Amino acid sequence: MPGFSFGKKICQWCVQHEAYQRGELAENAPQPVMRAPWARRGQSSIGLTQIIFGINAAVFIAMVLASGAVMDFPIQDSIRWGANYGPLTLSGEWWRLITNVFMHGGLIHIAFNMWCLWNLGALCEALYGAWTYAGIYLICGVGASLASVAWHPNGPSVGASGAIFGLAGALIAAFKLGEFSVPRSALSGTLRSLGAFVIYNLIFGQLMPGIDNTAHIGGLVTGLIVGTLIALLAPHQEHAARRIAIFLFSFLLLAGVAAGVARRYGFPFRFGRASLGGENPSGGSVAKLENMVKQRPDFVPARFDLAQAYFSQGDYAKAETQLKRALELQPQNTDARTLLGMVYFNENRAQDAKDAFELAINQDANNGEAHFGFGLALAAEGNHPAAVEEFKTAARLAPGADGVNYNLGISYAKLKRYDDAIAAFLEEKKISGDGAEVENALADAYQAKGLSSQADDARSKAAQFK
Can you tell me the distance from the alpha carbon of 211 to that of 206, in angstroms, rounded to the nearest whole number?
7
Predicted confidence at residue 27, as pLDDT, reads 65
Predicted confidence at residue 6, as pLDDT, reads 42
Instruction: Give the angle subtended at the CA of 93 by the CAs of 87 and 94, to the nearest 5°.
Output: 110
| Stated pTM of the model | 0.54
Predicted confidence at residue 5, as pLDDT, reads 43
Phi, psi at 27, each rounded to 5°: -65, -30
Q: What is the DSSP letter of 222?
A: H
The catalytic residue among 104, 216, 371, 384 is 216
Report yes or no: 414 and 384 within 8 Å, Cβ to Cβ: yes
CA atoms within 13 A on the CB side of 151: 14
Can you tell me the distance from the alpha carbon of 218 to that of 165, in angstroms, rounded to the nearest whole number?
8
Per-residue pLDDT of the chain (466 residues; tens, 9 = 90+): 344 444 444 566 667 667 766 777 666 666 655 445 444 444 556 788 899 999 999 999 998 888 787 777 888 788 888 888 877 787 778 899 999 999 888 888 888 888 888 888 888 888 888 889 999 999 999 999 999 888 877 778 888 888 998 988 888 888 888 755 555 555 565 666 677 777 777 776 666 666 777 888 898 899 999 999 998 888 877 788 999 999 999 999 998 888 888 776 654 554 444 444 444 444 456 777 787 788 778 878 778 888 888 888 889 999 999 999 999 998 988 889 999 999 999 988 888 999 999 999 998 888 888 999 999 999 988 899 999 999 999 988 888 788 889 999 999 999 999 999 999 989 988 888 888 888 888 899 989 988 888 889 988 888 887 6
Report yes or no: 77 and 139 within 8 Å, Cβ to Cβ: no
Predicted confidence at residue 99, as pLDDT, reads 92
> Which of 94, 217, 76 has its CA nearest to residue 148?
217
Can you tell me the distance from the alpha carbon of 458 to that of 446, in angstroms, rounded to the nearest whole number?
9
Q: Which helix (H) or strand (E) holds 377?
A: helix 368-380
DSSP 149-210: HHH-TTS-B--SHHHHHHHHHHHHHHHHH---SS-HHHHHHHHHHHHHHHHHHHHHHHHSTT
Which CATH architecture does the domain made up of 68-267 adopt? Up-down Bundle (1.20)
The yes-or-no answer on residue 91 being catalytic is no
Render the burial of 337-346: b for 16+ CB within 10 Å, e for the rest. bbbbbbbbbe
DSSP 44-87: -SS-HHHHHHHHHHHHHHHHHHHH--SSS--HHHHHHHT-B-HH
Per-domain residue ranges for the chain? 68-267
Can you tell me the distance from the alpha carbon of 108 to that of 135, in angstroms, rounded to the nearest whole number?
27
Predicted confidence at residue 252, as pLDDT, reads 92
Predicted confidence at residue 278, as pLDDT, reads 44
The yes-or-no answer on residue 78 being catalytic is no
Q: Across-strand partners of 84?
A: 157
The catalytic residue among 91, 148, 157, 161 is 161
Can you tell me the distance from the alpha carbon of 369 to that of 387, in angstroms, rounded to the nearest whole number?
13
CA dihedral 434, 437, 441, 443 (to 10 degrees): 70
